[in-house]
Each structure stands twice: as structure tokens, then as C-alpha cells.
Amino acid sequence: SKKPVRVAVTGAAGQIGYALLFRITSGEMLGKDQPVILQLLEIPDEKAQKALKGVMMELEDCAFPLLAGMEAHGDANTAFKDTDYALLVGARPRGPGMERKDLLAANAQIFTAQGKALNAVASRNVRVLVVGNPANTNAYIAMKSAPDLSRKNFTAMLRLDHNRALSQIAAKTGKPVSSIEKLAVWGNHSPTMYADYRFATIEGQPVKPLINDEEWNKNVFLPTVGKRGAAIIEARGLSSAASAANAAIDHMRDWALGTKGKWVTMGVPSNGEYGIPKDVMFGYPVTTENGEYKIVEGLEIDAFSQERINLTLKELQEEQDGVKHLL
């Protein structure tokens, strides 16, 4: 049987953590034959650590055959020791009266410390996914704080936007989500993201002529996908934790196990693709193979798409400028 791998999860006692840990441990992320050791991080606060203990009691009570070990931590420098996968979910939520720059600064502090800890103690091949918001900028900060690790090992979660876009296209066309391929989501995990079905196909047929409705694209599709998180809070009274956890599972599974040529969306550091400045943590269509992602290149960017890409890039650059002095 396979040797266990180490999976670190931060914010492990939070909402997303609760929807995530049981699925990791049942084998939905890394495969039904891959034992895992969970290295769970929560803030050192007594209440959070106690809640984490409660989650761990439930994990024990699932008697998962793949759970090869489990640890609770209050410090990233121990939580990330030798970790092969790190899911950075915990982040500072916006409090009452808190401005965007305060939020950025509070998170910059968390992700600088976590990047340094990964740099110091994680496996040299650690694969990092940042879920905590602002996810792209937090991932950028962690990457910049870990100079000894490859830039390619740091990613941000755009997969929820990708999955939301898939479900909207499926509803519009009346086709199953599983039949849709070659969808791309560009940019920041925020309402400025640009979900782009110009290249998408259903059973090999192009989606664009099937929908053939530019007004729907602009006035229904993009706003629906962009504001879906707020719509769920409005309906449920709580944020979209289960679908966020599901997207994190999808992202890591596809990164680790490969997409067999299918496109998925990941937030990854640019090397200049599509004119995005180097290191900007940008949502791109990618394929993955042997544990590596590859950005899909050579796609034509029309005027409308360029406008949308410029908008989401501008927002990301403003976020990154806002934390530059802290790095």
C-alpha cells in the first residue's frame, strides 16, 4: 500500500474546514488508495483549539481507513513540517468598520508568516492552495515569502468560479455539466473574474453559437457567476462553505492526479502569458499532468475579453500594490 502523505489545513475548525476535512480523509482528494496524515492549524486561541479538538473527535469517529495520523497545531512552523499539500483556508474576515486596506494588511501578516513557515519546514515539493480571501493576493504574499520554494508550488483557488460558470452554462443549454469542456476563468477570485466560454464545447460542438446571446453573457451570466457568493449568503444566511470546500478538493485532485487533457482553472503566478506581468497570481485555463500544471497558451483574446482581463488585472495589481510595503 502507498506511503501516507502529509496534508496541512489551516482554519481547520472553520466552516470550510468542516466541509473539507472529511472528504480529504475519505480519499476524494488524493485517491481512495492514498493514506493521509492531517496536520491541522488553528489560531492558538483556546476556543479555536477546543473547536478543532471537536472536529478531530468526529474525524476519529468516521474510522476512515485512510487516516494514518492527525495532529492539532497552533503554530505554522510545526503545522507545515514536511507537509506535501497545504490548503490555506484560514484568513481574517472583514470585521465591522474594517476597510479593505485593513483587511489586506491583516491577511498580509498571516500569509507572510505562513509563507515563511512553508519555506522553512515544508516538503520541497509542497503544493499550496490558498482559499482564504483575498485568495490571489494571499497566495502571492505566501509565494513571495517563500524564496526557497518553487513559484510553481503556490496557487490560488479559482475553481469555485469555474464550477459556478459550468453550472450556469449547463442550465442555459440544458446539457449536463460533465459534457462541457474548455471553459476558462481569467483573473482574480472576486466579482471581476472573467468567465469565458468562447472556446467551450459540449460533446465537441462549440457552446458560443449554441447560446448565441451576447446580452445574456454580459448581463446575466457574468454577473450571476461574479455575485454568486453574495447570493448564497443572502439565501442561506451563511457563506458558501460546502461548494468552496468542494472546489478546493477539485483543484488539489486535478493538480495531483491530472486532468487528462481537460481544461480547469487555477490561479497561478504569471510568467507573462497573455500579457499579465510576471508573478501576478492570475486565474488561467490550465491542464495538468504528472503533478504539474501547464497554462493553455495561444488563445485569441478579442476586444471584449481584453477589456475584462484588464479590469480584473487592475484590481489584482491594486491589491498587490497595497501589500508591497509589508513584504
Stretch that binds ligand NDP, among 26-34, 35-43, 198-206, 267-275 (CB under 6 A): 35-43
Strand partners, 269: 281
> Do residues 248 and 255 make contact, with C-beta atoms less than 8 angstroms apart?
no
For ligand NDP, the closer CB: 37 or 113: 113
Indicate the burial class of 141 (C-beta count within 10 angstroms; 0-12, 13-18, 19 or more).
Answer: buried
The residues, any chain, with a CB within 8 Å of residue 42's CB and separated by 6 or more, are 10, 11, 12, 13, 48, 49, 51, 52, 72, 73, 74, 90
The single residue listed with the C-alpha cell 455539466 is 177
What mask of x and - would describe binding to ligand NDP in positions 89 to 108, judged by CB under 6 A? xxxxx---------------
Q: Which is nearer to ligand NDP, 30 or 91 (CB)?
A: 91
Q: Is 37 annotated as a binding residue?
A: no
Compose the 296-315 pattern: x for residues touching ligand NDP by CB under 6 A, - for all others. Answer: --------------------
Give yes or no for residue 162 binding ligand NDP (CB under 6 A): no
Applying the rule CB under 6 A, the residues between 165 and 204 that interact with ligand NDP are none
For residue 123, the minimal CB distance to ligand NDP (Å) is 19
Site pattern 13..32 for ligand NDP (x: CB under 6 A): xxxxx---------------
- DSSP letter string, 168-235: HHHHHHT--GGGEE--EEEB-SSTT-EEE-TT-EETTEEHHHHH--HHHIIIIIHHHHHTHHHHHHHH
Stretch that binds ligand NDP, among 36-44, 120-128, 203-211, 269-277 (CB under 6 A): 36-44
**Backbone torsions φ then ψ of 251, nearest 5 degrees:** -60, -50
133 part of the interface to ligand NDP, by CB under 6 A: yes
How far is it, in rounded angstroms, from Cα 9 to Cα 67? 14
Report, in Å, the least distance between residue 326 CB and ligand NDP.
Answer: 16
Residue 129 binds ligand NDP (CB under 6 A): no
Q: According to the annotation, is 132 in a ligand binding site?
A: yes
Please give the radius of gyration of the chain, using alpha carbons only, rounded to the nearest integer.
19
Provide the edge-to-edge strand list for the sheet that holds 205-206: 180-181, 201-202, 205-206
Return the number of the residue (296 or 323) whose C-beta is nearest ligand NDP.
323
Residue of closest CB approach to ligand NDP:
14
User: Which residue in the set 132, 267, 269, 283 belongs to the binding site for ligand NDP (CB under 6 A)?
Assistant: 132
Q: Residue 186 or residue 274: which is nearer to ligand NDP going by CB?
A: 186
Stretch that binds ligand NDP, among 8-16, 61-69, 118-126, 305-313 (CB under 6 A): 8-16
What's the CA gap between 52 and 72, in Å, rounded? 7
Which residues ranging from 204 to 263 are in contact with ligand NDP (CB under 6 A)?
229, 239-241, 244
Answer yes or no whether residue 41 interacts with ligand NDP by CB under 6 A: yes
Grid coordinates standing for 230?
Answer: 453574495
Which sequence positions are flagged as catalytic? 189
Residue 324: DSSP 8-state? G
Residues at the interface with ligand NDP (CB under 6 A)? 10-11, 13-17, 41-43, 48, 89-93, 110, 131-133, 160, 229, 239-241, 244
